[in-house]
Each structure stands twice: as C-alpha cells, then as structure tokens.
Structure 1
Amino acid sequence: MTTPPEAALARLLEIMVRLRAPVGGCLWDREQRFETIAPYTVEEAYEVAEAIGRGPEMGALLDELGDLLFQVVYHARMAEEAGVFGFADVAEAISHKMIRRHPHVFGDAAAGNPGWEALKQAERSSAKDDGVLAGVPAALPALTRALKLTRRAARVGFDWPDTDSVLLKLTEEVEELRAEIPAAKPERLADELGDMLFVVANLGRKLGLDPEACLQAANAKFARRFNAVEAQLAERGATPAEVGLETMEAEWQAAKKSERTAKTPHLPDQ
C-alpha cells in the first residue's frame, strides 16, 4: 500500500531534523550552510531535467525528484533553525502564489485570465525593484539568463527587428573578436567573446529556440561522437592520444555518417 503523502513528507522532514541534530546527527550535514548547499540544489535540478530527457523510463525521474525535494527540505530546515521560516511556510507561500496567479481557476472564471506575465509584472511592481529586468536571477546559466533578459527587453520594444539583423550583429562581433586576437589581452578577448555569445543567445530567441537547450544537445552530440571515435580506436588497440588528428578526424566523420544512416528511414524496395 502506498504511504500517504502527508506521512511520507513528515518522515522526510524528521530525517532532516535528525541529520542536522547537534547530538547524534551527521557532522557533514550539521556544517552545511545555504551557500554550501546551493550548488547541490542547482545540480539536482539539472539531474531532474536529464532524467526527463532520457525518455519514458520513470525510475530515474522518481529518484531525481526525491533528491530535488530533499534540497528544498534542507534549505527549509536551515531557515527554521535560524528562526526565519519552516517547510510549512514554504508550501504555504507557493500555494498562495499559485492561487494569486491563477484567478481564472481559483477566483472568478468570468473575469478571464490576465496572463501569467502580467500578474508577475504586477508583483514586481509592488516590490522595491520593479524595473523591466527585475527578478531575472543572476545565478541562472549564462545563456538562459541572456535569453530571459532580452525577452524582457523585447517586450518593451528594445530588440532587433528580425533574424537577419541579429546575424549581421553576430558577424560584427566575430570580426571584433578576431581583431583582438593578435594583442591577446585576456580581458579584451573575454569581453568580445562574451558579446558574441550574448548575440548567439539572441539568435536562438529570434529563431524560437532555447540556446541553453541547443548547447546541451550539442554537448551530448559531441560526447556521443567522441565516445564512438574512442570505441573504434580501441577495437584497433589504439587510444586518441596515440593517433594523429587526421586519424581521429576520419573516425569522427565515420561516426557522423553512421548517425545519419541510422536516422535515415529505409524505404521499401520498389
């Protein structure tokens, strides 16, 4: 029989209390602070996304969601120890927020839905920092933050008119980076490379694509193909470090061809 959610959550909260207990708890867990746990929280969120991307197998997702929930419990416990808030306050706060942002569901349905972004903007306006870019977390992955910042700016008309304009800007940034390479000043190179990547993020936005997801897919493709290169070399008793670039490039092209062949549908013989 499945454990009731209230009982399962109560058990998890008690486990967290025990782990952080001054007497009988875990030394490592007792020493942690918000700042030291935050990187694990981000990592667990990415692992949830990775589990989803692996396909329909739900076992991994169940496990990763548990890890992510534990992170919320961890932060809430540290806040409770500091006398600020507890897990119940976190749950209540998000419940109130969701009800407030869905008046068409929890309020007067006839009033219609004013829109998620309009409601969020109203919330930001009531806060001290109510600028167009307010509320975009600085800790987001850089490409994702670039996407969110420029989406906000675009809503008030600060945007390139079309994709071609972004491509022209990208060409300009590439040339500016090229011009800095002979001097090889790290700070100038970093500045120009950053500008180029920022424009690339905007190009993704203009194309209706998430640049972070695109780069993640490119990373996965590179890893998959390089692993195939290693495997092919291993069959010949060699390693990448032992062969030249020409050999590795040949194996790389073979891996690309193999992928394309696998993706091409086989038509029935005529």
Structure 2
Amino acid sequence: MDKHYSVDDLLYLMAQLRNPDGGCPWDLKQNFASIVPSTIEEAYEVAEAIEAEDFEHLHEELGDLLFQVIFYAQLGREAGHFDFSRIVDTLVRKLVRRHPHVFPSGQLYGDNRTDAVDEAQVKKNWEAIKAEERQAKGEGGTLDGVAVGLPALTRAAKLQKRASGVGFDWPSVDGVLAKIEEEIAELRAAIAAEDEQHAQEELGDLLFTCVNAARHLKVDPEAALRGCNRKFERRFSAVEQQLQAQGRQPSDASLEELDQLWNRAKQQD
C-alpha cells in the first residue's frame, strides 16, 4: 500500500525546498510579499472548482492552497515570527472562543454540553465576539479591520455588512434598487458633462450600490460576477465558432452581425 503523507511530511518538504544547501532556487528567492499573488490565485481556483462542482480535482486545489499556508509558516519560522504550530494553536483558540454554544467551558476538550441555539443567535454571538476581538486590537471603529487588500467587491460587501450591523442600511432591497436608478442617472449626467473624474466616481457609486443589492439578495457579488464572466466567455466563444465555420474572425464581422450571432448563442445557451 502506498504511503499516505501527513502534514508533518509537508512541513519537512517545505523546509527542504527552503534549505540553502541544496534547496530549490525559486523557493529560496521568495518572501512574504512575493507569494501573495499565488495565494490569491490558489484561493480563486478553489472557488472555481467548487462552483463547477469539480470535486474530482477540488482536493488538489485545496492542497495547493494549503501549501501557501505551509510556505508562510516556513518563512515565519525562518524570521522568528511564528511557526506552523503557532498558526494552528491561534486558530483553534479563536474558534473555540467564537463558538461558546459548542464549547461553553472555553476548552476544546472537556464538558461542553450546552443548550441548543438557533442560527440567528449564533450569528449575533459571532459578531459580538469579533467586535470584542477588534476592540482588543485597538480597532474600535465599526469599519476597522476590514482588509484593504480584499477584492473591491468583497470589501464593499464587508463594509456594508458592518454598517448594517449598527442599523445603517435599507430595510429592504427596494430601497437599494431605487438607489441604483438614482446612481445611473447621476452617471449619465456626469457623462453628458464630459467630466471623466466625476463619471469615474459615479460609476464607483453605482458598483457599490449593486454590491448592496447583492447583499440584500444574499448573493456573493464576486461569485455572481465570476458566473457572468463564464457566461460571457461561453457565448463569445460560440460567436467565434460560428464565424470560424465560415473561415472568418470576429474582426471581419460588423457590429450588427456580431450582435445577431450573440443573440443566437444566447438562445442556445
């Protein structure tokens, strides 16, 4: 039977890759900042596999994402900041603390029997505990601690969720949709005035409000846009295939013809 490697084996492998004596030249050149793009890319590949229900390859994508954590852990150990065991310890302690309905003793092991609570109460407790944690870090403001490096759509949703938690929100999606119409009118006015900077600002307002609509509809805006991207790719590829069957390229067709082919692809989608 083939050996099944463990996390300990992965940690050993990473240490060897970073070993100055015989390690991998590429891995040895990396630092915290240089592997951030790979981390983001791997996270999106996990999301893509899940959305495509590609469970045959999901475990591989999750492994690639785990490797990013292992890489950071090795860099942290070398610099004397932290190691993998500290990452795990901090995570377990935080999750125990944030789940008092499961671990009322405050310990992972022990007598943790508790009365059942509903999901709404769990979410309320979770947000209250996270707020306490932010205050302990000196992040007293409602919007403090929302990572600046997040994708803009995701960060907008998190900022809006925080504001909603203190009552700054529309009571229903109807108010958001009315605001979208208002923002479109303001964008049209900025375009008519040929004010590029104002138009950019109004477009940002429109996108921000669309994210708010997604939040009210309980839709992840990033997932919605990724789905739209896939749909666009699929339909445009169908347009190209129709033209290639005639020995032509999209650049050979008029906009009117492209639009007709697009509508045909849309109907067949």
Establish whether TM, by shorter chain, passes 0.5: yes
| Partner deviation per Cα, 1:236-269 (whole Å, 9 max, x = no partner) | 211111111111111111111112xxxxxxxxxx
Computed over aligned residues only, the root mean square deviation of the Cα atoms, in angstroms, reads 1.8
Q: Is the 8 A contact 1:103 1:109 kept in 2?
A: no
User: C-alpha distance in 1, partners of 2:61/2:178?
Assistant: 42
What aligned pairs does 1:18-167 form with structure 2 within 5 A after superposition?
A: 18-55=16-53, 57-107=54-104, 108-110=112-114, 115-167=125-177
What pairs with 1:169-184 in structure 2 (closer than 5 Å)? Answer: 169-184=179-194
1:196 maps to a residue whose letter is L
Residue 47 of structure 1 deviates from its aligned partner by 0.3
Match for residue 262 of structure 1?
none
Deviation digits for residues 30-49 of structure 1 (CA, Å, limit 9, x no counterpart): 11111111111011001001
Residue-by-residue CA offset, 1:115-164 (whole Å, 9 max, x unaligned): 32222222222220132122221111111111111111111111123322
Match of 1:10 among 8, 15, 28: 8
Normalised by the length of structure 1, the TM-score is 0.88
Q: Structure 1 stretches of 5 or more lacking a match?
A: 260-270
How far the C-alpha of 1:170 sits from its partner, in A, is 1.5
TM-score by length of 2: 0.88
SS in structure 2 opposite 1:21? coil
Letter in 2 for 1:69: L
CA distance in 2, matches of 1:2, 1:23: 29
Change (3 A) 1:18 1:185: farther
Question: Runs (4+) of structure 1 moved beyond 4 Å?
Answer: 1-4, 111-114
Identity over the aligned pairs, expressed in percent?
A: 48
Moved more, 207-216 or 244-253: 207-216
How far did 1:182 drift? 4.1
Question: Any gaps of 5 or more consecutive residues in structure 2?
Answer: 105-111
Tell me what 1:268 maps to: none
1:167-204 Cα deviation digits (max 9, x unpaired) = 22212211222222245444322211111100111111
- Return the offset for 1:2: 6.5
C-alpha separation in 1, matches of 2:51 and 2:27: 31
Which amino acid in 1 is paired with 2:95? M
Partners of 1:205 and 1:35 in 2: CA distance: 31
Structure 1 residue 112 displacement after superposition:
5.8
Equivalents in 1 of 2:171, 2:52: separation in Å?
A: 37
| Partner SS state of residue 101, structure 2 | helix
Query: How does 1:240-255 map onto structure 2 within 5 Å?
Result: 240-255=250-265
Instruction: Provide the C-alpha distance between the structure 2 equivalents of 1:150 and 1:191, rounded to a whole number of angstroms.
Output: 18
Q: Which amino acid aligns with 2:157?
A: L
